[in-house]
Amino acid sequence: MTTELLRDTVVLSQRCLRHVLRSPDTIITTAVTPIAMLLLFVYVFGGAIEVGGGDYVDYLLPGILLITVASGVSYTAFRLFTDVSGGLFERFQSMPIARSAVLWGHVLTSLVANLVSVALVVLVAVAMGFRSGAGVLAWLAVLGLVVLFTLALTWLAVIPGLTARSVDGVSGFSYPLIFLPFISSAFVPTEGMPAPVEWFAEHQPVTSIVDTIRNLFAAQPVGATGWVALAWCVGLLVVAHTLAMATYRRRTT
């Protein structure tokens, strides 16, 4: 069964990737908004924001990477919605393929497309002056966190992709995900926020993930924050995957 699932997932992932390659503007569009925010905050607001020393682009980049992922998963929800509304899922059900491979094809395509967008954002940040003293292991740790975060949000995107009744409904779910980094340490330190906002910022997942990536880039110890970030990513992934699969079973029965 596992071999069958892997084989079918590879085939369906290739199908989804071909769709992305035929319209690479989705990857470009995903990267445009984060890059515009990077330029705006660094060159317009950066001089007025105190982050305790260092270049603001170094401080800002981790949060922009998460926004890039949050923007990208909305296209996964849209592609899934298109397949569902077009009756493609019913046709897949009549074929001898592993049922969950249909979802995994979209999820893995989302992972690849989002990593390409993240790489584009990092290249722009380097051109703007971003520098990192991180070693290979630290970069791999950053990659691992980004992959886990992308998978968690992608499985979350599967739910509206399966249940939305309109294009507006399927695209609207990503807005809270994109704005969540604004109430975190992604753009400014949380210490200057009003007490209730600071409490929320300190206890939501984005802050721990951003702080961990920032410390890894700076070759600084991550401490307990790294474990908190890992727990958030794994926990969100498990919950999102469970809910998505339950929604898929209800949708196809």
Q: From its phi and psi, is residue 126 left (phi > 0), alpha (psi between -120 and 50) or beta?
A: alpha
Looking at residue 166, what is its pLDDT?
Answer: 76
**Does the pLDDT at position 97 exceed 70?**
no
Residue 122 is encoded by which pair of tokens?
């990092």
The one-letter code for the residue type at 38 is L
Q: What is the pLDDT of residues 151-168, one digit of tens each?
A: 999 999 888 888 877 777
pTM greater than the 0.85 cutoff: yes
**Does the pLDDT at position 73 exceed 90?**
no
Torsion, Cα of 133, 137, 138, 139 (10° steps): 90
pLDDT-based confidence at 24, cuts 50/70/90? low
Q: Is 62 exposed, middle or buried (0-12, 13-18, 19+ CB in 10 A)?
A: buried
The total of other beta-carbon atoms located within 10 Å of residue 99's CB is: 15
Using CA atoms, how far apart are residues 5 and 156, in angstroms rounded to an integer?
Answer: 21
pLDDT-based confidence at 89, cuts 50/70/90? low
Instruction: Please give the residue that has the higher pLDDT: either 204 or 86.
Output: 204
Looking at residue 207, what is its pLDDT?
Answer: 94
Angle between helix 25-40 and helix 56-85 axes, rounded to 10 deg: 150
DSSP letter, residue 132:
-
